Structure 1
Amino acid sequence: MVGDTAPETLVRAARAVVAGAERSAAVRVRDGVVVDIGPVDADAGGAEVVVLADDEVLLPGLVDTHVHVNEPGRTDWEGFASATRAAAAGGVTTIVDMPLNSIPPTTTVAALEAKRQAARGQTWVDVGFWGGAVPGNVADLAPLHDAGVLGFKCFLLDSGVEEFPHLAPAELAEAMAEVARLGSLVVVHAEDADEIGACPHGTAYRGFLDSRPDAAEERAIALVVDTARRTGARAHVVHLSASGAVPALRAARRDGVDVSVETCPHYLHFDAATITDGATELKCCPPIRGAANRDALWQALVEGDIDLVVTDHSPCTADLKLRDTGDFADAWGGIASLQLGLPVVWTGARERGVPLADVVRWMATAPARRVGLAGKGEIAVGADADLCVFAPDEEWVVDAAALHHKNPVTPYAGRTLTGTVRATWLRGRPVDLAGPPRGRLLGRGPTRGVDR
């Protein structure tokens, strides 16, 4: 292990993902920053040397830009301490907290400061924040931007919590025009309420799935694209589930519209046909669809039409999942997976012959670049020495009770995954989950010298 007083550390890895490719490397770290990347047998020059095992790969720490921490206000669902411990255990060194499910939501500077105050001193990884765009708060967007939020989240339909209402099309246009003026980013939950039917009460997943058809996403994404085109705003579509929206996104980007899109591990792993009656731990919005759709999402990732993969970690207390009744109509929609994202995605990628370097791009480099977190998401000279030691061939079975999430509810319980995170480093030092937290609160731009 690396001591706190080591002037330099040299990490030797027979396998490392650097500059988008896997190769051997010796990564030299000084004062929490990567200062050199040389051949694996580079002279130590007095540095403390750490040698990875033969079955380990050195990755940059992952960047998860879609995490619902829920503190303050719903801290019994999740909190900064539990969420960031889970992140670190899963190789994630930076998260960006969503503005809703906490009370108050992050729609004013005062609410942002309440969130930051709640987070200070209890983050094991670095944390950035999204602001929220809701009806009537356009005047709050510039102050939030100046205060350091990385962009603005909005919904095009009921968010599920009354304190974070959705935007009508005209309100979306007004918010996106202001976001364009600020040079920021608007991130959109894109489902169209007019295309969504009532979910029947009962345990059948099919009823829930049928109530939220592909057309709900496709129609809403068309609105996002059109509004971004008219306003010049930078836009990002969160948690894409319906692969049928990919051609419209591809065409928009070909036309010069600045729109990106993410998908999530659960859409890449599960298949609607195998979801059993009453398995409400798999309820999320938009829903998990069929196997052909899942395969099309993988193809879109490989071909570059989907930019990044993040968890949309949206936990709740066990009782809100209604496992006693299995009623999909009333169960809370959200999937807890922050600690599991890397092995879930790698398991599927490995089965499909997709290289680990691509997974790193989707889950570390691309998220950091899209939200403007310089120095994150890559092993590069000048970047923060945020690292993940990953054993890509090790199989293990998920034990929900052993995860660091606050509530032991996850649809991956009992699943066999491939790939284990053995260590996570934050700014050049291993994260000690039993020790004091060293995470920082981030704003825009370079990540060093920011609010601790």
Structure 2
Amino acid sequence: MVRSTRVVTPEGIRAASVCVSGGEITAVLAHDAPVPPGALLEDVGDLVVLPGLVDTHVHVNDPGRAHWEGFRSATRAAAAGGVTTLIDMPLNSLPPTTTPRHLETKRAAARGRVHVDVGFWGGAVPDNTGWFRPLHEAGVFGFKAFLSPSGVEEFPELDRAGLARAMATIAAFDGLLIVHAEDPHRLAEAPQRGGPRYADFLASRPRHAEDRAVARVLELARETEARVHILHLSSAGALPLIAAARADGVRVTAETCPHYLTLTAEEVPDGASEFKCCPPIREAANQDLLWKGLADGTVDCVVTDHSPSTADLKTEDFATAWGGISGLQLSLSAVWTGARRRGHGLGDVARWMSARTAALAGLDRKGAVAAGRDADLVVFDPDASFTVDPAGLQHRNPVTAYAGRTLQGVVRATWLRGRRIHLDGTFTEPAGRLLRRRPTPERQDPSP
């Protein structure tokens, strides 16, 4: 039994005792409920008990680029940050997850080395459409596509015809297509100056390139009736497009990231490419609109897009530096820092970072402190603060855009299926599972 005066449940925050047996939450009882015979009591006082976070956008890079990150270090960082489930992206590893054989290679690399539960996305590239259904049947949670160059040659982007073909193929078995939406033609038209000035890099990835690509995805989703998800939304200009498409019946969801919600272009120092990501961190006024989109439900969820690299790839030239923010361990604290400042509560954070991400991936045993769910719990001190020291993080490489920032909220302990896997910076041996998408009935065409 885990007891707290502040348990975040789907019905709200309340004093409660959470009963756990066999890795599952069996009941959420009154705070003063008697301890069942033979049960152990973990009373955390006034610390908050949250559902374990579900991060559906993580680049582990293992195998092949495990010196950038790796399953052991990534999942240890996840546990330290309150993330109990992550879904690994299909690129930056070698091989990419574009065939069932490559998927099994990745699973073999992860097996026995993960501190949290781990699932896998498949990839959608120009030459692997025939592998979509086998990958789906092998348990991937959906398929990722780029509309502009990905940054690694082994994972090319889809053109308009390729996107339409991928969408139609995936729609036939009611799979999910997740899309990095930046229009390559708009990017090519933008000024490409290179060098250390962040303003020049920002100009090279304009908002209208993102907005145009989102519009294309929505147009094709309407035509094919596919289920689509917009990745790492940074341009608030796409919000009205998403809202209108959803109102028109298009099955679209969207995510944003902690760095878009907490960092602004105005504060990025020149030469500081630890802030580089694509699409980029934009201006404060744009950030305000992203928060509004999150609050009104146009943006469904918040995920990290943790995309680390070695320090030598983060050069002072924004044009050539690796693009990716390393923030897996810090995501809960970063979002809570921004959320509380804007009047949002921990129930909102749990909805954005656990319930909705679990729903996106179809993980119906994750995402809530409720009976019948996995006992994935986070003990969180929302009033404590800390200053980020990259060397003290569990990420493999000490490079992060949050370095030196003071964040609110400290993860004290993390539980995975009723077993405490992290306590104040110490960890048990890896006990995570490799997850597969649960089989779902295929959509049936309506009768004529």
Q: TM-score range by the shorter chain?
A: over 0.9
Could you tell me how far 1:20 is from its partner in structure 2?
4.6
Separation of aligned partners in 1, 2:438 and 2:357:
14
Does 2:329 correspond to 1:339?
yes
Which one of the candidate residues 6, 10, 14 is aligned to 1:19?
10
Q: Secondary structure of the equivalent of 1:294?
A: helix
Residues 191, 203 of structure 2: 8 Å contact kept: no
Q: Which residue of 2 aligns with 1:218?
A: 211
Q: Which residue of 2 aligns with 1:264?
A: 257
- Letter in structure 1 aligned against 2:105: A
Separation of aligned partners in 1, 2:406 and 2:24:
35
Q: Which residue of 2 aligns with 1:57?
A: 48
Q: Which residue of 1 aligns with 2:28?
A: 37
Q: Secondary structure of the equivalent of 2:246?
A: helix
Q: Which residue of 2 aligns with 1:154?
A: 145
Q: Secondary structure of the equivalent of 1:45?
A: coil
Matches within 5 A, 1:380-395: 380-395=370-385
Residues 76, 427 of structure 2: 8 Å contact kept: no
Higher mean displacement: 371-380 or 251-260: 371-380
Could you tell me how far 1:435 is from its partner in structure 2?
2.9
Q: Which residue of 1 aligns with 2:80?
A: 89
Which one of the candidate residues 401, 411, 418 is aligned to 2:391?
401
Could you tell me how far 1:370 is from its partner in structure 2?
1.0
- Letter in structure 2 aligned against 1:439: G
Post-superposition CA distance 1:201-257 (Å, at most 9, x none) = 211100000011110010000000011111111000000000010000000000000
Q: Secondary structure of the equivalent of 1:431?
A: strand
Separation of aligned partners in 2, 1:435 and 1:18:
27
- Letter in structure 2 aligned against 1:358: D
Matches within 5 A, 1:306-345: 306-322=299-315, 326-345=316-335
Q: Which residue of 1 aligns with 2:95?
A: 104
Q: Which residue of 2 aligns with 1:203?
A: 196
Separation of aligned partners in 2, 1:168 and 1:210:
23
TM-score (norm 1): 0.95
Q: Which residue of 1 aligns with 2:355?
A: 365
Does 2:40 correspond to 1:48?
yes
Separation of aligned partners in 2, 1:413 and 1:377:
29
Separation of aligned partners in 1, 2:428 and 2:338:
33
- Letter in structure 1 aligned against 2:414: T
Q: Which residue of 2 aligns with 1:5?
A: none
Separation of aligned partners in 2, 1:445 and 1:14:
35
Separation of aligned partners in 1, 2:49 and 2:353:
14
- Letter in structure 1 aligned against 2:135: L
Could you tell me how far 1:182 is from its partner in structure 2?
1.3
Q: Which residue of 1 aligns with 2:408?
A: 418
Q: Which residue of 1 aligns with 2:445?
A: none
Residues 60, 70 of structure 2: 8 Å contact kept: yes
Could you tell me how far 1:53 is from its partner in structure 2?
2.6
Post-superposition CA distance 1:283-342 (Å, at most 9, x none) = 0000011000001000110111100000000000000001xxx11111010000000000
Residues 239, 264 of structure 1: 8 Å contact kept: yes
Post-superposition CA distance 1:404-431 (Å, at most 9, x none) = 0000000101100000000000000100
Which one of the candidate residues 346, 353, 368 is aligned to 1:356?
346
Residues 8, 48 of structure 2: 8 Å contact kept: yes
Separation of aligned partners in 2, 1:127 and 1:336:
18
Q: Secondary structure of the equivalent of 1:407?
A: coil
Post-superposition CA distance 1:26-84 (Å, at most 9, x none) = 10000000001110111112211110132x10000000000000001101000000000
Separation of aligned partners in 1, 2:377 and 2:428:
18
Separation of aligned partners in 2, 1:419 and 1:161:
35
Question: How many pairs does the alignment contain?
Answer: 433
Post-superposition CA distance 1:337-371 (Å, at most 9, x none) = 00000000000001111011001000000000011
Residues 385, 408 of structure 2: 8 Å contact kept: yes
TM-score (norm 2): 0.96
Does 2:244 correspond to 1:251?
yes
Could you tell me how far 1:198 is from its partner in structure 2?
4.8
- Letter in structure 2 aligned against 1:166: E
5+ residue gaps, structure 1 = 1-9, 447-452
CA RMSD of aligned residues (A): 0.9
5+ residue gaps, structure 2 = 440-448
